[in-house]
Amino acid sequence: YWAEIDGRLLFASELKAILQLPEVPRRLDWSAVNKLFTSLCTPPAQSIVEGIRKLEPGCLLIASPDRGIRSHRYWTFHPSPDRSRGEDELAGQLRELLEESVRLHMVSDVPLGAFLSGGIDSSSIVAAMAKHSSRPVKTFSIGFAEKRFDESGYARLVARRFATEHHELILRPDALDIIEDLAWHLDEPFGDSSAIPTFMVSKLAAGHVRVVLSGDGGDELFAGYDKYLVEGRERRLGLLPRAARRTLGAAARALPDGIRGRNLLRHISLDGAERYLDASTLFHAEEKEKLFSRDVFGMIRDEDPWRWEKERLRENSGHWLSALQTLDMLGYLPIDILTKVDRMSMAHSLEARVPMLDHRLVEFAATIPPEISLRGRETKRLLKRAMREVLPDPVIDRPKQGFAVPLGDWFRGGLEPFARDLLLCGTARGRGIIEPRYVERLLARHAENRPLDLHLWTLISFELWCRTFLDRRGAPASVEGRAPLEVEIACRPESAA
């Protein structure tokens, strides 16, 4: 995070550190608010606070008295498919590079372990750790009482295969007791509810080790997301005549908000990047008009919250899958996935390392032809081939699950009164940002089994952040002793400039 205030450059790894300075105004950046309620996170280069920016990955900040402050990109992800090698050769190279990266990431003078979800990425990391370790690897997993969300069985299968010292925690609705802590540690509103299990598995691991290896990055590098499959299938919608798509769009707009099938009709009517990004949109423009107060919506009405993503897609005019992977490498991975893992682990003074993102492995992944990464309905094809003889078949062949949380079930249970009290109380209403009547509609529709848990979670995250930072309530009691209550500023004498 960085800001220029009264001719000074302020920078810190945490937003809350800059906010300790009394001269920093605590005003919302409405463009960032718009982005948050579109894609669960704030933009890559903007924070939720007006005037405080973020330095994008692969960039450096240059400050000088004569030229001011500017950002310079020194690295980016460039797909360059190499079709001179066969799949067997590529799979062998991938396995060797992954094992070497894990070996290097295991160098530590403090106790070390691994997050283990039971998916192919974390399981591959644990397999390589077991190969290079003379002692049982310490592994840590989260499970859920709700079976359709629970991956703990796969994690136990991998733990048995590699004889790890396995630790497991089953989460229940009372896990949300920590959400005020999340607001403090995340620094910004964050709509990805998998921050909850990430916080809890980090707490579990911190009781045993000081460093963990994580499997993050595998979905972006090796095409593991189901959304890539969906886009491959939906590209055929582009064959529909434009007039037919316009008719579908008009029909969707004519239907009342909340009617089943409305969003599907609108989605089918879209084309290209608009269609792909629409599938990842939380609140659409017509929903935001009802969600936000008239004044707030007036400030964001003409903004395109997907502008940054569309610019990146225009820059990558090659194969569609390579363009989407690049977009996620530069955006979703650092802004959502790595932000979540870094902040939730460091909340417990736990260092998380990501062997999948070693630069040699990333550079190799950039050479994998897209038709090898994704074929038919098989995602992550090359990584599966590389690990076929190493991991249990059920782990290789299982459908992707993701680190999902049963928030919907929890909200329909005892947590509904909590959400209602938080989002509709006098404090929230007094901000004049969110329309209470629309929140009541969301709660009612969610109670009718509509999948609106992420909508509600993002609203909760935003309100808790406002209370913590805008209202200056500060750190929750559980973390108050670790809060940065003072910031010391070292300034060079002006004569030295």
pLDDT in tens, 201-215: 999 999 999 999 999
DSSP secondary structure string, 254-279? Answer: HSPTT-TTHHHHHHHH--HHHHHHHT
pLDDT in tens, 331-363: 999 999 999 999 999 999 999 999 999 999 999
- Is residue 362 within 8 A of residue 77, CB to CB? The reply is yes
Confidence of residue 462 (pLDDT cuts 50, 70, 90): very high
Reading the block at residue 450, the tokens are 């509509």
Strand arrangement, sheet containing 165-171: 165-171, 138-144, 112-115, 211-213, 351-353
Instruction: Give the domain ranges of the chain.
Output: 87-224+323-397
Q: What is the pLDDT of residue 148?
A: 84
- Tokens 């990501």 correspond to 354
Span 300-316, average pLDDT:
93
Q: Which of 114, 146, 156, 195 is nearest to 458 (CA)?
A: 195
Q: Give the helix ranges, DSSP H, for 388-425.
A: 393-397, 407-412, 416-424
Directed axis angle between helix 320-330 and helix 226-234, to 10°? 140
Least confident of 99-108, 180-189, 249-258, 462-471: 249-258
Direct distance between the N- and C-terminal alpha carbons of the chain, in angstroms, rounded to an integer: 23
Least confident of 221-230, 309-318, 422-431: 309-318
The CA distance from 337 to 331, in Å, is 10
Confidence of residue 493 (pLDDT cuts 50, 70, 90): very low
Least confident of 221-230, 232-241, 473-482: 473-482
CA distances from 68 to 13, 52, 56, 61 (A): 21, 16, 18, 10
Query: pTM for the complete prediction?
Result: 0.91
- Tokens 């490498």 correspond to 329
The CA distance from 356 to 365, in Å, is 10
Confidence of residue 317 (pLDDT cuts 50, 70, 90): confident
Least confident of 126-130, 138-142, 242-246, 367-371: 242-246
- Is residue 223 within 8 A of residue 379, CB to CB? The reply is yes
Residue type, 393: D
pLDDT at 483 over 50: no
pLDDT in tens, 254-275: 666 666 667 777 777 677 788 8
pLDDT in tens, 34-78: 999 999 999 999 999 999 999 999 999 999 988 899 999 999 999
DSSP secondary structure string, 369-389? Answer: -HHHH-BTTBSSHHHHHHHTT
Residue 275's contacts (CB-CB under 8 Å, 6 or more residues apart) are 234, 237, 267
Percent of the chain predicted with pLDDT > 90: 71
Q: Which of 280, 279, 275, 299 is nearest to 288 (CA)?
A: 299
Q: What is the pLDDT of residue 51?
A: 95
Residue 48's Cα: distance from chain center in Å? 16
Span 251-255, average pLDDT:
67
Reading the block at residue 77, the tokens are 């992800």
The CA distance from 295 to 451, in Å, is 28
E strands within 74-225? 112-115, 138-144, 165-171, 211-213
The CA distance from 40 to 282, in Å, is 7
Q: What is the pLDDT of residue 240?
A: 66
Confidence of residue 492 (pLDDT cuts 50, 70, 90): very low
pLDDT in tens, 425-455: 999 999 999 999 999 999 999 888 888 899 9
Residue with the larger pLDDT of the pair 180 and 166: 166
The CA distance from 440 to 36, in Å, is 20
- Is residue 186 within 8 A of residue 195, CB to CB? The reply is yes
pLDDT at 143 over 50: yes
- The topology under which CATH files domain 87-224+323-397 is Rossmann fold (3.40.50)
Confidence of residue 106 (pLDDT cuts 50, 70, 90): very high
Q: What is the pLDDT of residue 410?
A: 84
| 82 exposure class (CB count in 10 Å sphere: 0-12, 13-18, 19+) | exposed
Confidence of residue 477 (pLDDT cuts 50, 70, 90): low
pLDDT at 480 over 60: no
Confidence of residue 236 (pLDDT cuts 50, 70, 90): confident
Q: Which residues of 242-258 are buried (b: 16+ CB within 10 A; e: fewer)?
A: eeebeebbeebeeeeee
3-state secondary structure of 84: coil
Q: Which of 118, 119, 94, 450 is nearest to 287 (CA)?
A: 450
- Tokens 């608010």 correspond to 33
The CA distance from 388 to 386, in Å, is 6
